[in-house]
Every structure is written in C-alpha cells, then in structure tokens.
Chain A
Amino acid sequence: DIQMTQSPSLLSASVGDRVTINCKASQNINKYLNWYQQKLGEAPKLLIYNTNNLQTGIPSRFSGSGSGTDYTLTISSLQPEDFGTYFCFQHNSWPLTFGSGTKLEIK
C-alpha cells in the first residue's frame, strides 16, 4: 500500500502569509494527487486535482505542485476563511489513500 505522509500536522499562520503543506508518498504516484479542505462539521471539499489543477470555484491563491513522491499545496496569501484541515489523496494505485491531515489555524 502507498503511505501518504503529510507535514506539518499542525500549522499556525497569519492572514496574508504564504503557507505550504507537504505530502510525501512512499512510492511514485505519477502526479495522481488531490488536495481536499475540510472545515469542522463539513464534508471535505476538492481544491486541487492531479497535482496542479484548480477545481472550479476555488480561489487562485491555492496552487499545487510536485512530482514523483513529493507534493506541495501552497496558499499564496492566507485568508481567514482558509482555516481547517487539509488532506492529500493519492489515486495512482489501489488502495487509494489519504494523508493524515494538516490542521491550519489562523493566528
């Protein structure tokens, strides 16, 4: 099984900061990497798919990059509504697996 290791697990940042969240796969996942945002009491929401494709309706301050085993979600200028937990997800091979999550707190 492919293990997805996210870092950091907890991140505290200020409005306007540039924020990066990392996800490392235990083997090459060929850019089949999605990012989801989850707010308390809500279902996850797709932000980025296949490494760097912005889902419709998602603000352009969100971006993704990476290849092979290493992937990054970047928020260029953090907004108050960006708090929540972020999960990466690989769909290169079964079983499809999520990262353990990064909780983003707004200072």
Chain B
Amino acid sequence: EVQLVESGGGLVQPKGSLKLSCAASGFDFNSYGMSWVRQAPGKGLDLVADISSKSYNYATYYADSVKDRFTISRDDSQSMVYLQMDNLKTEDTALYYCTVATMMEGVMDAWGQGASVTVSS
C-alpha cells in the first residue's frame, strides 16, 4: 500500500523559513516523480513544486508564485521528498500535500494527509 506521510508544518512569521518532509513507502520511490500540492483555507488546489526521478535528471518545476523562494528535493536512499520554503508570505498559508503519480505521469493517485503551514505575525 502506498503511504505518504508529511511532517514539518507549523506557524512561522512572514519572511521566515520552514522545511516540509514527506516519507514515502509502498512503492519503488526511485522510479517516480513527486509533487507538492497546496490548498489555502477554503480554497482550491495548486501544484506548487514537482521533482522528477533520477531517470529524468531530477528535473524540477515550480509555480510562479513560489519560484525563487521554495526548493524541492529528494533523497532516494531514504524515500523522502522535501520542500524548503524561504521568505514565506502570508499567502503561503495552506495545507501542503505530498503526492505521487504511480500509475502514469500526471495522474496523482496517492496523497498524504497534508502538513499545515501558517504564516502570520
């Protein structure tokens, strides 16, 4: 069974930093790209960052709203994916989901329970 477990959320002041972690299990982690999708309170879903597998040279994608502030990375030896969030803004307040497309690219079929990030002074 595929499992994704996020951690590292919390309350941070504007311009602060936070690092989210996602522990993956139940699938061949090395073979799949991983994504972070966020959902602001009462709002919709936004894909904010994606990292491909080694086969695709760990290519990354960032939404314009987080480019140059967020960094996605992965540790294949530990089956972990991370989201380093710097220079946080109040509009980054959201539940951050770790997701994976195990069936085929673009079909995110497994999601974690989410990590809550609140940016407030």
Please report A residues at the B interface, Cβ cutoff 8 Å: 32, 34, 36, 43-46, 49-50, 55, 87, 89, 91, 94-101
Contact A98 B46 (CB under 8 A): yes
Question: Which residue of B64, B105, B111 contacts A44 across the interface (Cβ within 8 Å)?
Answer: B111
Chain B interface mostly:
loop
Task: Report the Cα distance A46→B61, complex, angstroms.
Answer: 22
Contact B108 A87 (CB under 8 A): no
CB B45 to nearest CB in A, in angstroms, measures 4
Contact B109 A43 (CB under 8 A): no
CB A54 to nearest CB in B, in angstroms, measures 12
Q: How many residues of B contact A (CB 8 A)?
A: 19
**Which 3 A-B pairs have CB atoms at the shortest separation, nearest pair first?**
A91-B106, A43-B111, A98-B45
Chain B residues, CB < 8 A from A50:
104, 107
Chain B residues, CB < 8 A from A91:
105-107
- B11 in the interface, Cβ–Cβ < 8 Å? no
